[in-house]
Amino acid sequence: MTEIEIEVSADLNKKLEAFKKIVDTVLEEKTEQNGYLNMIISKGLEALLKMVISQDTEVLWSTIEKMLDENPKFVCDFVADMIKQGGEIKREEIKEKIQLFYIQ
């Protein structure tokens, strides 16, 4: 793990310390400070990414298309894995849509 040092305002520090009690209560254990802060930063990054991408489907599709251009194997492997995780019902829905375009 990489160690970084950041400065936060006194107000933000109070909020972080106070919110940790909620996390500890929900998890039913006292979390370590590093794990707690990693979770907060990780979830914050995910939330910010959703704000940027998922609100605009045009941006989302454009992003995926550019990712496919840059790294087709990774994107296709990832999508295939997600389809597998989605279960048989979702796979059947996708299969029906693909079959509409498939020419034998």
Which pLDDT tens digit goes with each residue over 22-64?
999 988 889 899 888 989 998 999 888 877 776 778 888 888 8
Please tell me the pTM assigned to this model: 0.58
| 88 pLDDT above the threshold of 90 | no
pLDDT at 14: 97
Instruction: Give residues with Cβ within 8 angstroms of 64, minimum separation 6.
Output: 75
Measured distance between the N- and C-terminal CA atoms of the chain, rounded to whole angstroms = 52
Among residues 38, 37, 63, the alpha carbon closest in space to that of 50 is found at 63
CA-based R_g, the chain, Å: 21
Which residues fall within 8 angstroms of residue 16, CB to CB, at 6 or more apart?
8, 37, 40
